[in-house]
Amino acid sequence: MVAKEIDRREFIAEVGIRLVGTGLLLNQLTAKAAFGENKGSSTKKNRKLNMEYRTLGKTGLKVSAVSFGVMRLKEPAVLYKALDLGINFFDTADSYQNGNNERMLGKVAKEYGRKKIFIATKVHPFYLQKEVSEEYRLLAKKALDEKMEESLKRLQTDYVDVLLMHNIMNKSWPLNQEILAFLENLKKKGKARFVGVSLHDPRVYLDVIDQVSKAPIYDVLIAWFNFKSPSEHGEALKKAKKANLGVIAMKTQAGGYTKGSSTSLSPQQAALKWVLEKDFVDCAIPGMVNIEQLIENVGAVGKKVSWNDRKILHTYFNSIKHHYCIMCGKCYSTCSNSIDINTINRALMYCEGYRDFEWGRQTYRELSSRMNGLSCMDCSSPTCHCVNGIKIAERMKHAHTLFA
């Protein structure tokens, strides 16, 4: 609780410093054209805002190159500042902050003007997981439509621009007939203009992107991608872009750890520049929780990766490589207990990199006891191995001690 209060005081101080005498909090953009759909060139820059707009694949939406992953944000003032800086695409989910994230975004969108911005939200097809009972499976399947209605109510809108199936964990899910029917129905009723998937899991990363790229119903892909991602992930995203999917990069700053910066340019900004420079990425959705992070990230727009940036990123990764997982997925075949190493490492990243213990714990506790770090506690001869030198067994035990 202490950490949360500190963050809040820091936020208030930051707002006070930056907004004195300016009325910045209540300002709204007057350049409406930046938020419309444009059928012209795939990239357009608004000189007044210094924001670049790119076409989100087959959707035709003109979205800000730096868009907003709202997931952990609790202060609506940051959203107003984002709008002022030209950000027009906001990503949330029904599960973020138990729905409060959608409520906050919905309130701001209504006050600002719903049609001036683009909203993406996500629902998770939990009922497809093998671990759930048949009774739960039937209830959860029926609840998908209810989840969507609840999201729309919290967002104070009758449609979302993009609806995504959240955190695909099995390569069969995107082409599941029930899921396809659900998505088709949302489009038909106008409750979702476009649909897609979001993706973390390296075990299914390539297969899912391949399937989604070939299925006509899908319009958008949100995927984990940063300067340390395996090269085959970048190649897969190139194929998705070639198939005219809107490609959105998340987890763009490799954990957001504060270590590793040796100059005034942070590794976070250098990492974001690296992602935005890829021509197959339409936009990035870094998670931001304060105005300082927001301004820093927007500052990456339109800038090329320099030699100094690469040096900074090299230094940064060397400082985190023994605990940051690049999500290559090669460790899974080495673990005799078949635990979900990826998700556990992601939970640790939320705690250590994002400095959000509660989000890390929630992510960890969503795992079944069969897949979390419990079995590591009594494992006398661990076989798990990381090609990048992470001591997996120690990290899994640490996570279980921390979050269980």
Same domain, 107 and 189: yes
More confident site: 83 or 378: 83
Look at residue 44 in the predicted model and tell me its pLDDT: 60
Q: What pTM was estimated for this model as a whole?
A: 0.84
pLDDT at 89: 99
For residues 344 and 255, membership in a common domain is answered with no
Q: List the single range of 9-23, 64-78, 287-301, 342-356 with lowest mean pLDDT.
A: 9-23
Same domain for 373 and 238, yes or no, is no
Indicate whether 359 and 304 sit together in one domain.
no
Mean residue pLDDT across the chain: 85
Q: Is the pLDDT of residue 40 over 50?
A: no
13, 45: one domain: yes
Q: Are 6 and 52 found together in one domain?
A: yes
118-123, strands of its sheet edge to edge: 68-69, 89-91, 118-123, 160-165, 192-199, 220-224, 246-250, 283-284
For residue 17, pLDDT beyond 50: no
Q: How far is residue 84 from each of residues 186, 258, 298, 355, measured CA to CA in Å?
A: 31, 26, 11, 27
What pLDDT, in 10s, does the model give residues 217-243?
Answer: 999 999 999 999 999 999 999 999 999
Per the domain annotation, does 322 fall within a domain? no
Q: Cβ–Cβ contacts within 10 Å for residue 238, how many? A: 16
Q: Which of 22-26, 209-213, 310-314 has the lowest average pLDDT? A: 22-26
Into how many domains does the chain fold?
2
**Comparison of pLDDT for 246 and 136, the residue scoring more:** 246
- The model's pLDDT over 83-132, given as tens digits with 9 standing for 90+, comes to 999 999 999 999 999 999 999 999 999 999 999 999 999 998 866 665 55
Is residue 1 very low, low, confident or very high in pLDDT (cuts 50, 70, 90)?
Answer: very low
Residue 41's pLDDT band (cuts 50, 70, 90)? very low
Question: Within this chain, do residues 55 and 127 fall inside the same structural domain, yes or no?
Answer: yes
Domain limit, last residue, from 316, 351, 374: 316
Long-range CB contact pairs, 94-99, < 8 A, 24+: 94/121, 94/122, 94/123, 94/124, 94/147, 94/150, 94/151, 94/154, 95/122, 95/124, 95/166, 96/70, 96/71, 96/72, 97/72, 99/150, 99/151, 99/154
Beta bridge pairs of residue 250:
224
Does any domain span residue 64? yes
Domain membership of residue 326 (yes or no) is no
pLDDT of residue 66: 98
What domain range includes position 355? 332-403
Q: How many C-beta atoms lie closer than 10 Å to residue 163's C-beta?
A: 27
Regarding whether 258 and 192 lie in a shared domain, the answer is yes
Specify the CATH number for the domain of residue 38.
3.20.20.100
